[in-house]
Amino acid sequence: MSTPQFANAERFPDADRIVVAYPDDAMRQLRLDEATSVVVLAHDPKLDEPAIEAALASAACYVGAIGSRKTNVARFDRLRRRGLTDEQLARLRAPIGLDIGAETPEEVALAVLAEVVAMKYGRSGGALAQGSGPVHVPR
């Protein structure tokens, strides 16, 4: 859970709202709509899995979780035991990010955001040089 010590207006002066709550409670307090992307990064099943469950119950256009393939196999098993269906879990992107060879935290962030944008616009995230269609698709 974030604490007022770290989640405060002094540290985030441009924030419209600061929520101090466990991730799943925060997601229920916020309006997660089709324009919302949720990326779960805590590396703690006690925090991650309730947050993922809450995000998957929302209209969020993207729900992703960090972790290795092995971590995510175990995570999917635990989420099934919590009652999530394969249809619900199909919305969960895990491990997150496009395969760009990311090593540094900044590169990992870029890989994750690239996947979020690709999903938002229904694109594959593949190299433009490999495609044959238009580079820019009118929306």
In a domain, 79, yes or no: yes
Q: Return the pLDDT at 137.
A: 75
Q: Return the pLDDT at 80.
A: 97
- Of the candidates 28, 35, 99, 86, the one whose C-alpha atom is nearest the C-alpha of residue 76 is 86
In a domain, 139, yes or no: no
pTM: 0.85
Task: Give per-residue pLDDT as tens, 74-124.
Answer: 999 999 999 999 999 999 999 999 999 999 999 999 999 999 999 988 888
Looking at residue 98, its amino acid is L
Question: Whole-angstrom Cα distance, residue 112 to residue 103?
Answer: 12
Does residue 1 have a pLDDT over 70? no
Q: Return the pLDDT at 31.
A: 87
Number of domains in the chain: 1
In a domain, 83, yes or no: yes
Q: Return the pLDDT at 2.
A: 61
Q: Return the pLDDT at 28.
A: 86
Q: Return the pLDDT at 89.
A: 97
In a domain, 13, yes or no: no
Q: Are 89 and 57 in contact (CB under 8 A)?
A: no
Q: Are 39 and 116 in contact (CB under 8 A)?
A: yes
Task: Give per-residue pLDDT as tens, 2-42.
Answer: 677 888 899 999 999 898 998 889 988 898 999 999 999 98
In a domain, 4, yes or no: no
Q: What is the mean pLDDT of the chain?
A: 91
Query: Which range marks the domain in which residue 117 is found?
Result: 23-123
Bridge-based pairing state of the strands 92-93 and 62-65: parallel
Q: Are 95 and 86 in contact (CB under 8 A)?
A: no
- Per-residue b or e along 108-124, where b marks 16 or more CB atoms closer than 10 Å to that residue's CB: beebbebbbeebeeeee
Alpha-helical segments (H) within 59-128: 69-81, 86-89, 105-120
Residue 34: which CATH number? 3.40.50.720
In a domain, 100, yes or no: yes
For the beta carbon of residue 131, count every other beta carbon within 10 angstroms: 11
In a domain, 131, yes or no: no
In a domain, 130, yes or no: no
